[in-house]
Amino acid sequence: MTPNPYLWLLPILPLAGAAINGFFGRKSSRKAITAVALTFCGAAFLLALWIAVGFSSASAPYYFDLAHWIRSGDFRVDFSFYLDQLSLVMLLVVTGVGFLIHIYSVGYMWDDDGFYRFMSYLNLFMFFMLTLVLAKNYLMMFIGWEGVGLASYLLIGFWFTKDSAAAAGKKAFIVNRIGDFGFLIALFLIIKHFGSLDFPTVFQAVAPLPSETAGAGFLTAIGLLLMVGAAGKSAQIPLYVWLPDAMEGPTPVSALIHAATMVTAGVYMVARSHIIFERAPSAMTVVAIIGTLTALFAATIGIAQTDIKKVLAYSTVSQLGYMFMACGVGAFSAGIFHLMTHAFFKGLLFLAAGSVIHGVGGEQDMRKMGGLRHFMPWTFATMGIATLAIAGIPPLAGFWSKDEILWQAFGQSWVYWLIGVITAFITSFYMFRLMYMTFAGDYRGGAPDNSHGHDAHGHGDGHGHGEPHESSWVMLGPLVVLAVLSLVGGLVGYGNHFEHFLDPVFQAGKAVQETAGETGSRSLEFVLMGISISVAGLGWFLAWLLYSNRPKLPARIAESLGGLYRAVANKYYIDELYAVLFVKPLIDGSTSILWHGVDQGVIDATVNNSASAARDISDEVRHMQSGNLRSYAGWVAAGGAVVIAYMVWMGVR
Amino acid sequence: MSITAFIIISLIKSVAVVFVLLTAVAYSVWLERKVSAHIQNRWGPTRVGPFGLLQPLADGVKFIFKEDLTQPYVYKPLYIAAPIIAVVFAISSIAVIPFGTWVTVGPWGTTFMQITDLNIGLLVVLGITSMGVYGVALAGWASNSKYSLLGGLRASAQMISYEVSLGLSLVGVLIMSGSLSLREIVDAQGGRFWGFIPRWNIFHGQTIAFFIYLISAYAETNRTPFDLPEAESELVAGYHTEYSAMKFAMFFMAEYANMVTVACLATLLFLGGWHGPIFGPPILQALMPVFWFCLKVFFFMFLYVWVRWTLPRFRYDQLMAFGWKVLLPLAVANIVVTALIVALRAQYPGFLSFL
Amino acid sequence: MNIPLSYYLLLSGFLFVCGVAGFLIKRNIITIFMSIELMLNGVNLSFVAFAAQWHSLSGQIFVFFVMVVAAAEAAVGLAIIIAVYRTRETLNVDQVNLLKL
Amino acid sequence: MLHLILFLFFGAVCVAGAVNLLVQSHPINSALSLIAVMAALAGEYLLLGAEFVAAVQVIVYAGAIMVLFVITIMLLNAGKEERTKGSRVAILLGVPGLLIGAVLVAWTLLFRSNTTMVAIGAEPGSPKAIARLLFHDFLLPFEVTSVLILIAIMGAVVLASRPEAVAKTAGERSETTPELVGAGRNRG
């Protein structure tokens, strides 16, 4: 490992921006705020690029110990940073996409009263995300982990005067805490077994351990608990429910935090801990199953959503499931590859959706859109590229990564592959459905009416939104850049370049890949590739058929499906189920047992009774305090006599 | 010296000293009247004896034969006890005052011109004088008269206030001599420096202390300009308004005895006690120290009278402010400087050696 | 020429007991205050007596500290008595029992 | 023998003074009794060799603190004590407690004490020795008590001066009589 004194600057730069905007932004002009936010974020991006240039596949990891933190006996945790190939990929994704979304936000949030707050939160998020990515130990990672959760909470509830936004923020926070609980216990287990939280120390200690093939040991326990944390952060079953609600936040937030970066932290964490997972096959299996199920499950929900951002949200959940599936089958580099490409096209999709929402005056319901390609060609073009990418049409970014995952999954088990392909088909279908509903046909939106807007963020008032219009170039610029990345970003995976780049990190994981490579032949790979491309095309065709060619058909199908459709449209009633299973018992239990029973019956009763007992006793005793000096003297003399008697007795005895 | 001889000599010395003291008190009164008269361009007492020298005797006879009035509402036990307390404490403090050096008393041995020497002689004097305030205070209160009460209050407040600066002014001297014994303090002032200046404390760094002592002593003895307790223009006669005849005479004696004591103390502490040029035949040499001592005390007594008929009276708040705000800080500063110089001299023997 | 130290201690104890008794039976607040001084004096005597027994001057030093504290106490206590007298016009502790000025 | 005689003489004065303090109904008599006790105690100190303590006892206790008491009694014109029955506790609880304690202590001192015989002037407390101890070993307590005294001075000034006098600026002459102001200041 080589020390690199610039590492600590990476997180500190956005923190400085956040502090400046947070403390002084209220009085500053929007231009100054913009300058500060973009300067610090851009500086972090440039620094990351500069570091990346000197970094190759063969490079030893960089590290930098900034300061001591916890020194307790043998256990020590420091503020130290660590950069290897894996973190570098994340670093570039986070700073790059983050910087683009910063630029986009300037245009999107310009008219909002909380502009300075928003930019400050964004910078704060960057700080925590970079801390997470660059952490050298699990505790630093946990700081970043919790910090991005905080930033996410702040940004989801950015329009905190709106009840739904505030509630969504709380929901995200609470659901994430459930995951963090698992993460924390995993950390405790790691401390217990390895006495350290440093990645190199822990992994060196884990590496010689045998794989826990028979039964489950502590590594399986750690792996499963880490997965609980990852499921919370990355919105996997059963903790995915917060992510769709998180769409209450401003769209750039959805793009940055809830699509491109933060939600992938779980994937990153699992990939980072791959050594642990590789020695706990049961945990790996659980990861794969959860990822696969989530991918399919969320994709089916996505079919019936009408809110443009909700569709994308479920799509995100689904794609995250893909990534976990990759990790679960041991294809960590494929998972990270998909993470990167997903950051490009999903970020782009969200930004484009934001552009659409912006253009139609805050409307998010796709049924009230349509025909927008005439009004906003750039948005249409970029979003089209992103849709092609996510659907897995070659040679766009999504194709490479998705195909890699499917191929690796097939190597593990054909069930994963099959579900993956079905998911790919559904993905293709709902994405093109979104495209047709939004951009094709005629404009179905009426006169501007803010009351039906879900996203009632402040900028419907001043603008005349009679006609949908193209967004400004501040917003379109990032769209174009991301579109280019979505177009060509997948090419880094050509010839397994990307995989080899990550090899130093996933060295141990390579063994699994080799076996996968051996089972399947080259021809089989092309066959599978053909199948996935064709299902993507099939999805496109079906979407064209239903939403462009015969627009009446979807309603009829929905009617004929009846209960199934309603279940899908209502997200399988999962929220309601959770409400019945967890929330209501919790509230009832809290009310009847904790509140009325424990708090009022025991705690309050103890306090009140002891208070009244004290009062009753004092009522009697206070007569001793008559105010008469001589009475006091009498008590003192009597007490003195007792003391003297005791002392004499002790002395004589 | 046997114990009987010790007792006999002590008795003789006590009687002699008390006699001398009372005589001194009586003639202080004569001196006061005579000097004041001359200051005011009068003759003063001239009728009884030559230059009125027998006048004190006549005064005494007069006091004894005057009617002893006791007002009906006084608190009698204390009314009677107060003048006794005053005069007893005033006279008894003379016990530790040394008047001279060793003298040989014929075949019985040598003795010191002092009733007794104590290690803490100075403290004894201070203690006894501090008790003297009770006489005045009780007299004022027991008389059950508002003039008396005010006089008594003023007197006691004034005396314990100035006692502080008086006591502190002596600390410098104590530091210089390193002893509380009056005999040793005087011994420490023997010799001369630069050949002619006597090594008295007043010339030896304690000049400020001397003036603080002088002023405080005037206040202690209720003398002008600090005679507020008996200010005749305000309080008729202060605490002894209701007293007459011999009881009044006792207060009178107590006041002048206190003056003598204070003058003795000033002589001993600041003016080198009995030190002075000694010459002549042996008998004269034996008496010279006593002479010098008496001369210095006489100087102080004269100063008392001189000041009384020269300066006006303070206002009471001025008096208090002067005592607490001027004299006390000065005395403390004097102690600090003295202690510093003595300490430095112990460290570096040549430091300010000319002092 | 020697007498037992316990004589001094008995005297000290007697003075202390007299002080406490004064506190208990006297009504005048100033007299009560003087009883406290009497107690302090009794304690002082025992300090000096023990200094003689153990041949250590520390006992005598403590007497000075007791005196200093007594002086401070007298100054403040008498000031309080004057303040109380101004508002209550009585020095009887039995009538000064309102627990406020 | 001389020691015993002197001890008994001073002790008798002490006992008489202490009892007189209790018996007298007029505070000024109690105060004078207390002064007598203090003076006699100074004699006892001298017998024990504590000459400096004895001198300071007279100067500080009898000569300064008790003067304050006398002044206060005079100032407040305290009269004879009223015989009020304000406290049953003091009589019912305090006096028996006091007697029990006194008897126990006396019994212990008379029959169980391990005290030695002391000679006259047993532990000479010369000013020099005391000063050495006070300014070396007990320097910190000494300084702390000086702070205590300072606080006491300020407390006494604030408490004893009339509220309107405190409110006035320092330069103005207060309307109170000079005697009272003087007495108040003097109380430090």
A637 touches chain D (CB under 8 A): yes
Asked whether the predicted pLDDT for residue A509 surpasses 50, the reply is no
Residues 2-41 of C with CB under 8 A from D: 2-11, 13-15, 17-22, 24-28, 30-31, 33-35, 37-38, 41
C89 touches chain A (CB under 8 A): no
Nearest-angstrom CA–CA distance, B266 and B217: 9
Nearest Cβ partner for B130 among D64, D127, D182: D64
- pLDDT single digits (tens) A146-185: 999 999 999 998 988 888 899 999 999 989 998 999 999 9
- pLDDT single digits (tens) A204-249: 888 888 877 766 788 889 999 999 999 999 988 888 888 888 888 8
Asked whether the predicted pLDDT for residue D184 surpasses 80, the reply is no
Output the domain CATH number for residue C26. 1.10.287.3510
Nearest Cβ partner for B153 among D29, D126, D183: D183
Cα nearest neighbour of D126 on chain C: C57
CA distance D168 to chain C (A): 18
D101 touches chain A (CB under 8 A): yes
CA distance D83 to chain A (A): 13
Measured between beta carbons, which residues in chain D are less than 8 angstroms from residue B163?
Answer: 63-64
Residues counted in chain C: 101
- Tell me what pLDDT residue A144 has: 92
Name subunits touching A (3+ CB pairs < 8 A): C, D
Contact C17 D91 (CB under 8 A): no
How many contacts (CB atoms, under 8 Å) link A and C?
A: 29
Separate counts of helices (H) and strands (E) for chain D: 10, 1
Measured between beta carbons, which residues in chain D are less than 8 angstroms from residue B320?
Answer: 181-182, 185-186
Which is more confident, B327 or B350? B327
Asked whether the predicted pLDDT for residue A464 surpasses 80, the reply is no
Measured between beta carbons, which residues in chain B are less than 8 angstroms from residue D73?
Answer: 141
- Tell me what pLDDT residue A461 has: 41
Cα nearest neighbour of D97 on chain A: A638
Burial of B349 (0-12, 13-18, 19+ CB in 10 A): exposed
Strand A2-3 versus strand A62-72 pairing type: parallel
Which is more confident, A552 or A390? A390
To the question of pTM greater than 0.80 for the whole model, the response is no
The mean pLDDT of chain A is 85
CA distance D171 to chain C (A): 23
> Percentage of chain C with pLDDT > 90?
8
- Tell me what pLDDT residue A321 has: 92
Q: Which residues make Cβ contacts (< 8 Å) with residue A563, sequence separation at least 6?
A: none
**Domains of chain D as residue ranges with CATH:** 1-79 (1.20.120.1200), 138-188 (no CATH)
Contact D7 C7 (CB under 8 A): yes
Domain housing C60? 7-93
- Tell me what pLDDT residue A458 has: 43
D103 touches chain A (CB under 8 A): no
Contact D155 C75 (CB under 8 A): yes
- pLDDT single digits (tens) B206-223: 888 888 998 888 888 888
Least confident of A459-473, B176-190, C75-89: A459-473
Cα nearest neighbour of C98 on chain A: A627
Contact C97 A634 (CB under 8 A): no
Measured between beta carbons, which residues in chain B are less than 8 angstroms from residue D32?
Answer: 78, 134, 138
Q: What is the mean pLDDT of residues A565-575?
A: 80
Nearest Cβ partner for C51 among D78, D101, D123: D123
Asked whether the predicted pLDDT for residue B330 surpasses 60, the reply is yes
A633 touches chain D (CB under 8 A): yes
Give a yes or no: residue C31 inside a domain: yes
Q: What are the angstrom distances between the C-alpha of A214 and each of A512, B65, B331?
A: 18, 131, 96
Q: Which residues make Cβ contacts (< 8 Å) with residue B101, sequence separation at least 6?
A: B112, B113, B274, B289
ipTM over 0.85: no
Give a yes or no: residue C99 inside a domain: no
CA distance A642 to chain D (A): 8
| 3-state SS, residue A71 | strand
C99 touches chain D (CB under 8 A): no
Least confident of A319-323, B8-12, B277-281: B277-281
A618 touches chain C (CB under 8 A): no
The mean pLDDT of chain D is 79
- pLDDT single digits (tens) B246-288: 888 888 888 888 888 888 888 888 888 777 777 777 777 777 8
Contact C1 D119 (CB under 8 A): yes
pLDDT classification of B104: cutoffs 50, 70, 90: low
Nearest Cβ partner for D98 among C11, C21, C53: C21
- pLDDT single digits (tens) A87-111: 999 999 999 999 999 999 998 888 8
Nearest Cβ partner for D2 among C1, C18, C65: C1
Contact C52 D98 (CB under 8 A): no
Q: What is the mean pLDDT of residues A554-579?
A: 80
CA distance C58 to chain A (A): 24
Asked whether the predicted pLDDT for residue B25 surpasses 90, the reply is no
Nearest Cβ partner for A634 among D89, D100, D105: D89
Burial of C81 (0-12, 13-18, 19+ CB in 10 A): buried
Residues counted in chain B: 355
Least confident of A369-373, B168-172, D18-22: A369-373
Taking a C-beta distance cutoff of 8 angstroms, is the pair B86, B136 a contact? Answer: yes
Nearest Cβ partner for D185 among B128, B150, B320: B320
Burial of B291 (0-12, 13-18, 19+ CB in 10 A): middle
Measured between beta carbons, which residues in chain C are less than 8 angstroms from residue A640?
Answer: 20
Which is more confident, C86 or B104? C86
Tally of structural domains, chain C: 1
Beta bridge pairs of residue A3: A63
DSSP, residue by residue, chain C: --EEHHHHHHHHHHHHHHHHHHHHH--BHHHHHHHHHHHHHHHHHHHHHHHHHHT-THHHHHHHHHHHHHHHHHHHHHHHHHHHHHHH---BGGG--SS--
Tokens coding A58: 């063969």
How many contacts (CB atoms, under 8 Å) link A and D?
A: 67
- Tell me what pLDDT residue A40 has: 92
Q: What is the mean pLDDT of residues B150-162?
A: 83
- Tell me what pLDDT residue A45 has: 92
D55 touches chain B (CB under 8 A): yes
Cα nearest neighbour of A636 on chain C: C20
Contact C74 D119 (CB under 8 A): no
Nearest Cβ partner for C32 among A626, A629, A637: A629
- pLDDT single digits (tens) D66-75: 888 888 888 8
- Tell me what pLDDT residue A268 has: 92
Tokens coding D25: 């109904």
- Tell me what pLDDT residue A452 has: 42
- Count of other CB atoms within 10 angstroms of residue B232: 11
Contact D182 B154 (CB under 8 A): yes
Asked whether the predicted pLDDT for residue B9 surpasses 70, the reply is yes
- pLDDT single digits (tens) B40-53: 888 888 888 788 78
pLDDT classification of B349: cutoffs 50, 70, 90: confident
Taking a C-beta distance cutoff of 8 angstroms, is the pair C35, D85 a contact? Answer: no
- Tell me what pLDDT residue B242 has: 81
- DSSP secondary structure code for residue A82 in this structure: E
Contact A648 D108 (CB under 8 A): yes
pLDDT classification of A125: cutoffs 50, 70, 90: very high
D154 touches chain B (CB under 8 A): no
- Count of other CB atoms within 10 angstroms of residue B70: 12
Does chain A reach chain D with at least 3 CB pairs under 8 Å?
Answer: yes
Q: What is the mean pLDDT of residues D6-13?
A: 89
- Tell me what pLDDT residue B67 has: 83
